[in-house]
Structure 1
Amino acid sequence: MRASITTSLFTALLLGFSVSALAQDSVALRVNGVPIPQAHIDFIVAQLKERGTPDSPELRAKIREDLIIKNLLLQEANKTAVSQDPAVQTELALSQQNIVLKGFVRDYQKTNPITDEKLQNEYERIKSTLQRTQYLARHILLKTEKEAQAVLAALKQGKKFESLAKQSADPGSKDKGGELGWAAAGDFVPEFAQALLALKKGQTTTAPVQTQYGFHIIRVDDTRNLPPPSLETIKDELRQELEALQLDQFVKSLRARAVVQ
């Protein structure tokens, strides 16, 4: 919380609010006679609300106290030549640039909004890629490759997978015949997922699959395709992606026209 408030305060100071232009009743408090505008407090509250921190009297009291401490330190800093330090000047200039750029991006997105039509078109374009295949798989986890090979040999001799699963090192599935429940390949570690993707319904791996957990014998009992999520459920995420893409294209167009010497 302290870091967030301090960051917002620093941002507010860099924005350079005009204190002298404020009416007397817009001053929230004075520190050694130096006015702190109510606008500073409101700005920080708004910044924190955007990050999920609700407004409250306790929050405002905390911001008020941080502003007092910050301004006391600034008053001491102004008694020195620290503000003329080249490194401080450079950092201040870069920070100001970043704040202006952030404001520009915000305004650019407002004047170039991603419409519902654009969202719908993009959703239709990628909808087929959003479908997920789930696998109903079983596995037997062994600590050594030798043990895994022995289980494979037993399977070839006609032993039931479910019975052999009782010797699995996975306590969560050994008493369920090794069943892992419905899951997408991406829900497993990469080596396991790769083996799963190579299997068809009813097939078992012909060799042990090594992962960080040990050696697996895997069988796929069934597969199913899940429908893609609705546009409504991914609307915000999709909008952000399109906004980023649009901004990237704008930046590239600026770069292409720029004269750099």
Structure 2
Amino acid sequence: MKKTHIAFVLCALLAAGAGVAEDAKNTDSPDTLIATVNGTAYRLDVFRQFFMERLQAQQGGNDNPAFQQQVFDEFMGLIVASQEGDRRKLQDERNVLAALELDRMKVMSNAALSAMANEIEPTDKELKEAYEKAKEQATRTEYKARHILVKEEDEAKKLIKQLDKGTDFTELAKKNSLGPTGKEGGELGWFDPSQMVAPFSEAIAKLKPGTYTKEPVHTQFGWHVIELQETRKAEPPAFEDAKPQLTAVLKRQKIGQKINEMRSSAMVELNEEVVRLKPEDEAAPAVDAPKAD
């Protein structure tokens, strides 16, 4: 296929089914080919699947011509390399057969999970119960603080003494802090403590609004003097805003339960030559009996 034809094929890929253009709709058939390479035909649907897999790892839209060209070139490379595998008659190799079977299982598993998800529709009651539970778990304290970062502990101790004498925290930060927030007076804004390294989070959790650390706090970045300005309770999203995420969570939970039920009811005959089952008393670690005095 010549490169002048690639733009049309990719346009068909992106527009098919979206009502963008009539000629794109005409290509939306399971039998539509994207190319014939060395006499072998390749369906557009296969390329679409390959394109979507690559798109998931790509930041940005699928309308980037350079990205489209890159994916097409990769697909063509995949074609000629797989044809070489066929030429070498590698399809019957033991590891190739195992990999093909594993890939088939993964594809069928994903298709089944997707079909199961489409059949599940959580009730409003389930969604509201999940929302209330998530609200309780999401209730956390956020902090607004500022800090001064220096290299040496003694420097931090000197700054604390200046604060004790009433020196302005903002001015000290602007003059002394090595951190990127130094020029803003050390302002960190609002944050969740989990966003900070452990020693910093632990120190700020012990402070009351309007107070600062009386001892320098050491992290891998250096020595900190921290002032806590305010605290607040994080507000959870509204129910309607959280509904899509809650629906996805409940679907995953229900699918997980269904898979566990299927595993429990499955008739499994293990090959004991490769999977050795031990009775519980044999599998458990031996415990020495107490010795008589």
Q: Report if TM-score (shorter chain) is over 0.5.
A: yes
Cα distance, 1:188 vs structure 2: 2.6
Residue equivalent to 2:40 = 34
**Unmatched segments (≥5 aa) in structure 1:** 6-24
Residue equivalent to 1:129 = 137
Higher normalized contact order (CA 8 Å, seq sep 6+, divided by chain length): 1
Pairwise CA RMSD: 3.6
Q: How many residues align?
A: 237
1:161–1:96 distance in 2 versus 1, CA, 3 Å: same
Please state whether the residue corresponding to 2:209 is helix, strand or coil. Answer: coil
- Which deviates the most, 192-201 or 27-36? 27-36
Residue 191 of structure 1 pairs with residue 191 of structure 2 = no
1:180–1:87 distance in 2 versus 1, CA, 3 Å: closer
Distance 1:175 1:55 in 2: 40
- Give the alignment partner of residue 119 of structure 1, picking from 116, 127, 137: 127
1:171–1:216 distance in 2 versus 1, CA, 3 Å: closer
Please state whether the residue corresponding to 2:144 is helix, strand or coil. Answer: strand
Cα distance, 1:234 vs structure 2: 3.6
1:69–1:161 distance in 2 versus 1, CA, 3 Å: closer
Report the identity percentage. Answer: 27
Residue equivalent to 2:16 = none
Residue 141 of structure 1 pairs with residue 149 of structure 2 = yes
Please state whether the residue corresponding to 1:135 is helix, strand or coil. Answer: strand
Distance 1:235 1:42 in 2: 30
Please state whether the residue corresponding to 1:182 is helix, strand or coil. Answer: strand
Write out per-residue CA displacement over residues 15-42 of structure 1, whole angstroms, 9 at most, x where no aligned residue.
xxxxxxxxxx935354444343454455
Distance 2:257 2:215 in 1: 48
Cα distance, 1:211 vs structure 2: 1.2
Cα distance, 1:127 vs structure 2: 1.2
Residue 239 of structure 1 pairs with residue 244 of structure 2 = no
Cα distance, 1:88 vs structure 2: 0.6
**Is the contact between residue 149 and residue 179 of structure 2 (CA under 8 Å) also seen in structure 1?**
no
Residue equivalent to 2:167 = 160
Distance 1:194 1:75 in 2: 59
Distance 1:64 1:137 in 2: 50
Distance 2:148 2:204 in 1: 13
- Give the alignment partner of residue 216 of structure 1, picking from 215, 219, 224: 224
TM normalised by structure 1 equals 0.71
1:217–1:84 distance in 2 versus 1, CA, 3 Å: same
Write out per-residue CA displacement over residues 94-118 of structure 1, whole angstroms, 9 at most, x where no aligned residue.
1111111111111111122334543
Distance 1:105 1:145 in 2: 56
Distance 2:231 2:111 in 1: 49
Return the structure number with greater helix share.
1
Aligned residue identity for 1:77:
G
Please state whether the residue corresponding to 2:127 is helix, strand or coil. Answer: helix
Aligned residue identity for 2:260:
K
**Unmatched segments (≥5 aa) in structure 2:** 1-9, 11-29, 271-293
- Which deviates the most, 63-72 or 207-216? 63-72
- Which deviates the most, 70-79 or 144-153? 70-79
1:105–1:203 distance in 2 versus 1, CA, 3 Å: same
Please state whether the residue corresponding to 1:228 is helix, strand or coil. Answer: coil
- Which deviates the most, 182-191 or 78-87? 182-191
- Give the alignment partner of residue 112 of structure 2, picking from 104, 114, 120: 104
Residue equivalent to 1:15 = none
Cα distance, 1:169 vs structure 2: 2.0
1:98–1:53 distance in 2 versus 1, CA, 3 Å: farther
Cα distance, 1:178 vs structure 2: 3.8
**Is the contact between residue 192 and residue 209 of structure 1 (CA under 8 Å) also seen in structure 2?**
yes
1:151–1:81 distance in 2 versus 1, CA, 3 Å: same
Please state whether the residue corresponding to 2:213 is helix, strand or coil. Answer: coil
TM normalised by structure 2 equals 0.65
How does 1:246-261 map onto structure 2 within 5 Å? 246-260=254-268, 261=270
How does 1:12-91 map onto structure 2 within 5 Å? 26=31, 28=33, 29-41=35-47, 44=50, 54=62, 70-91=78-99
- Which deviates the most, 198-207 or 87-96? 198-207
